Amino acid sequence: MEVRWIGVEPSKLGSPYAAFTLLLGVWSAQGLEMSVGKIPFLEAVNGSTVMLPCTYASCIGIKDLYFNWQYNDNGTMQKVCDAVIPTEDVEPNVNIFKDRVEFIGKNHKNNISILIWNITFEDGGLYTCFGRNPKEKNKNHSAVFHLIVVDELRVVDNTLTIIIASAVGGTIAFLMAFMLLKNLTLFVLAKLEEKNKECLVSSSGIDNTENGLSGSKADSKPTAKKK
């Protein structure tokens, strides 16, 4: 099996160069990251106001972080807004290039989200949140958010969900009723068995008494002596 070393020659393994390369790789993997949340899309009604979320994160912090929002207009990227954030918790002066757009992030908790008022069908599409951090040798990253504009929100048909929930509920109720009936039946049978045992004991005592066995009330006559 052939082993190929990428980036570091075998002769340099264990050397300060290899250690530096390893540390550099770890540092690069923990660089700037832009995020638009766990659900990177939104379906909104025409004429409503929507928020496009975006936050940034950096393990070593930021200095003069540059960010912008861009809109993909049929393959052409158009800038929506941009700004430079000097340091954490400093509200940036944002340049707005698109109508009905408002910057609402204020850099609070690394938030650089924007708001679009009275959206139209032309506002629908892909929006890219981009960031570049000079403190990380201009490390950059981006995240895409999909805005979908519709006439009206779709009504979700819950018929199948209701059927499944009813079936599950009915099954559980049946099992509970079955267990209660089973326990009641076992209880009744146990009582009947106990009563039968008592009857058998009583009958045995009566038979012994009638037959003159020990414990009977029959008079015993003395045996006549021979002269």
pLDDT, one tens digit per residue, over 134-193 is 999 999 999 999 999 999 877 666 677 778 887 888 889 888 888 888 888 888 888 888
pLDDT reading at 8 higher than 60:
no
Same domain, 59 and 167: no
Are residues 38 and 128 both part of a single domain? yes
What confidence score (pLDDT) does residue 201 get?
66
Select from 150, 172, 192 the last residue of a domain. Answer: 150
Looking at the structure, tell me whether residues 63 and 118 fall in a common domain. yes
Residues spanned by the domain of 118: 31-150
* pLDDT bucket at 27, cuts 50 / 70 / 90: very low
Is 226 inside any structural domain? no
List the beta strands (DSSP E) in 17-110.
33-35, 41-45, 50-52, 55-57, 65-73, 76-85, 95-96, 101-103
Q: Are residues 69 and 106 in the same domain?
A: yes
The pLDDT, as a whole number, for residue 223 is 57
- Helix, strand, or coil (residue 213): coil
Pair 144, 167 in one domain:
no
Q: How does the average pLDDT of the chain come out, rounded?
A: 81
Shared domain check, 122 and 80: yes
If asked whether residues 138 and 177 sit together in one domain, one would say: no
Task: Say if 212 falls within a structural domain.
Answer: no
pLDDT in tens, 67-94: 999 999 989 999 999 999 999 989 999 9
Instruction: Say if 24 falls within a structural domain.
Output: no
Question: Is residue 112 in a domain?
Answer: yes
**DSSP code, position 156:** P
| Domains of the chain: total | 2
pLDDT on residue 26:
44
Strand order across the 50-52 sheet: 50-52, 114-116, 101-103
pLDDT greater than 50 at residue 4? no
Structure tokens at 226: 């021979």
| Domain annotation covers residue 183 | yes
Q: How far apart are CA 135 and CA 87, in angstroms?
A: 10
Select from 150, 165, 197 the last residue of a domain.
150
Identify whether residues 111 and 187 lie together within a single domain: no
pTM for the predicted model, two decimal places: 0.59
